[in-house]
Amino acid sequence: MPAARERGTYNMQEKKASPSGEGLQNLLMLDRSGDFSEPDILYPFALEELLCRYVGEGGPPLIHMWRHPRAFVMGLRDSRLSSAAEASRSLEQAGYSVAVRNSGGAAVPLDLGVVNVSLIGRKPAGRIDFHDDFERMYELIALALQEAGGAVAKGEIEGAYCPGDFDLSIGGRKFCGIAQRRQQHAYVVQAFVVVEGSGAEKAALARSFYELAAAGSADAVYPQVREESMASLTELLGTGFARSVQPDGPESLAAGNADPAGPPDEGRSTGGLRPGDTAASGPTPAQTFIDAVKRVVRDRQTPDGLTDASAKLWLPDPAEVRAMAQRMRERYGL
């Protein structure tokens, strides 16, 4: 069993009101988990960079959910390994969209079984401690998994990829990592949640990346990844995970959808179903988790808060997002 420096398991009796609703009453939901029109893995990070700036200028807070079919995202420290460029080219030849993100954390492999959840909020004046923002993400994910019976612990898991104090785990195996990007007046807390697939296979990919990226450097410092340290929620909670959480219902702007003009496959809930799903098969585990997160947020939204937030909503044009992605690649690329 992988070693873990856990700070505790989420206790519903002690924190039955958490997240308390502070900062969630006017939180708009931007669900792009079914939108795969932008192949560049930097697109969602560039979108969040622009949204974070707007939130810092007085825009409403957002929760952004997205997925990518096949990507590998490096941290800034990973990009400084002696053979990182060679490792990146190897991944690109294997069909991965590869990039260096401007937030904290280390390398993370992504596919459609990984749900990315980001909280974008304004920094309170005079506050520099970021732990409350990490705690809010931890509690959000723990509450989303409550129906499935998962006792979510936080604390670094030895051998996991993208390790940190806010590794989220069940039974000593990590399924989620949390990182942040902080601007002058706003922040983004980003979580990757491994919902489906093999955690061990993703860990093996991360380990092979580091072995190639650190080749020829005896003193290189990087995560020592072990396959047994990672697992998906379906591996941890069993095949009944998707059936243990009820599908979400229809949503609209009044229910907190940040993109009322988007078609159904760009994040509008269709009873928990996605293109390719059927009523008989039901929603995928990834969609089930997304629906659970939405319910946690929706239960804490207020009509007045949403009315005010919707009036201030702004989403950048895709061309503007692509331009930002290019600037990020030029600044942080290999």
Task: Name the token pair of 94.
Answer: 């294997």
One-letter identity of residue 110: L
Percentage of the chain lying above the pLDDT 70 cut:
79
State the pLDDT confidence band at 248, using cuts at 50, 70 and 90. Answer: low
260 within domain boundaries: no
317 within domain boundaries: no
| Residue from 276, 226, 208 nearest 69 by CA | 276
Q: What is the pLDDT of residue 29?
A: 97
Give the C-alpha distances (Å, rounded to integers) separating 154 from 177, 217, 294. 10, 32, 22
pLDDT digits (tens, 9 = 90+) for 78-124: 999 999 999 999 999 999 999 999 988 899 999 999 999 999 999 87
Least confident range from 51-65, 154-168, 207-221: namely 207-221
* Cβ–Cβ < 8 Å for 165, 139: no
Mean pLDDT over 150-174 rounds to 95
Q: Is 162 a catalytic residue?
A: yes
Q: What is the pLDDT of residue 219?
A: 84
111 within domain boundaries: yes
* Cβ–Cβ < 8 Å for 75, 50: no
Residue of 55, 62, 142, 162 with catalytic role? 162
Instruction: List the domain range (segments joined by +) for residue 133.
Output: 4-215+223-247+276-312
How many domains does the chain divide into? 1
243 within domain boundaries: yes
Residue 75 has pLDDT above 60, yes or no: yes
C-alpha span between 37 and 34 (Å, rounded): 9
| Residue from 45, 84, 77 nearest 64 by CA | 45
Q: Is 116 exposed, middle or buried (0-12, 13-18, 19+ CB in 10 A)?
A: buried
252 within domain boundaries: no
Comparing 235 with 274, the larger pLDDT belongs to 235
pTM of the model: 0.86
Dihedral-angle region of residue 320 (phi above 0 means left; psi in -120 to 50 means alpha; beta otherwise): alpha
Q: What is the pLDDT of residue 262?
A: 35
Provide the 3-class DSSP secondary structure of residue 182: strand
Alpha-carbon 195 to chain mean position: 11
Q: What is the pLDDT of residue 169?
A: 97
C-alpha span between 282 and 264 (Å, rounded): 17
Which residue is listed with tokens 């398991």? 9
Most trustworthy range by pLDDT among 2-16, 146-160, 238-252: 146-160
State the pLDDT confidence band at 196, using cuts at 50, 70 and 90. Answer: very high
C-alpha span between 51 and 46 (Å, rounded): 9
331 within domain boundaries: no
323 within domain boundaries: no
Mean pLDDT over 226-238 rounds to 95
325 within domain boundaries: no
The CATH number of residue 282's host domain is: 3.30.930.10
